[in-house]
Amino acid sequence: MRLIAPGRRALLAALAALPLLAGAAGAAELKVMSSGGFTAALRLLIPEFEKATGHSIRLALGASMGNAPDAIPNRLARGEAADVVIIAGEAIDRLIAEGRLLPGSRTDLVLSRIGVAVPAGAPKPDISTPEAVRRMLLEARSIAYSASASGVYFATEMVQRLGIADEVLPKSRRILSERVAAVVARGEAEIGFQQVSEILGIPGADYVGPLPEALQRVTAFSAGYTVRPEQPEAARELVAFLRSPAAHDAIRSTGLDPAP
Q: Tens digit of pLDDT for each residue in 228-251?
A: 999 999 999 999 999 999 999 999
Q: What is the pLDDT of residue 16?
A: 53
pLDDT at 23 over 50: no
Same domain (yes/no): 42, 132 = no
* Domain presence at residue 72: yes
pLDDT band at 61 (very low <50, low <70, confident <90, very high): very high
Same domain (yes/no): 131, 253 = no
pLDDT band at 6 (very low <50, low <70, confident <90, very high): very low
Same domain (yes/no): 107, 119 = no
The whole-model pTM stands at: 0.83
Same domain (yes/no): 14, 106 = yes
Query: Mean pLDDT of all residues in the chain?
Result: 91
pLDDT at 3 over 50: no
* Domain presence at residue 215: no
Q: What is the pLDDT of residue 1?
A: 35
Between 18 and 223, name the one with better pLDDT.
223
Buried b or exposed e, range 101-128, using 16+ CB within 10 angstroms = bbeebbbebbbbbbbbbbbeeeeebebe
Q: What is the pLDDT of residue 15?
A: 55
pLDDT band at 5 (very low <50, low <70, confident <90, very high): very low
Q: What is the pLDDT of residue 19?
A: 46
- For residue 240, the enclosing domain spans 6-111+220-258
**Predicted confidence (pLDDT) per residue in 152-190, tens digit:** 999 999 999 999 999 999 999 999 989 999 999 999 999
**Predicted confidence (pLDDT) per residue in 206-225, tens digit:** 999 999 999 999 999 999 99
Same domain (yes/no): 106, 118 = no
**Predicted confidence (pLDDT) per residue in 121-141, tens digit:** 999 999 999 999 999 999 999
* Domain presence at residue 182: yes
Same domain (yes/no): 48, 136 = no
Same domain (yes/no): 10, 97 = yes
Q: Domain containing 160 — which CATH number?
A: 3.40.190.10
Same domain (yes/no): 68, 152 = no
Q: What is the pLDDT of residue 163?
A: 98
Q: What is the pLDDT of residue 177?
A: 86
* Domain presence at residue 73: yes
Same domain (yes/no): 174, 193 = yes
Domain count, the chain: 2
* Domain presence at residue 1: no
* Domain presence at residue 121: yes
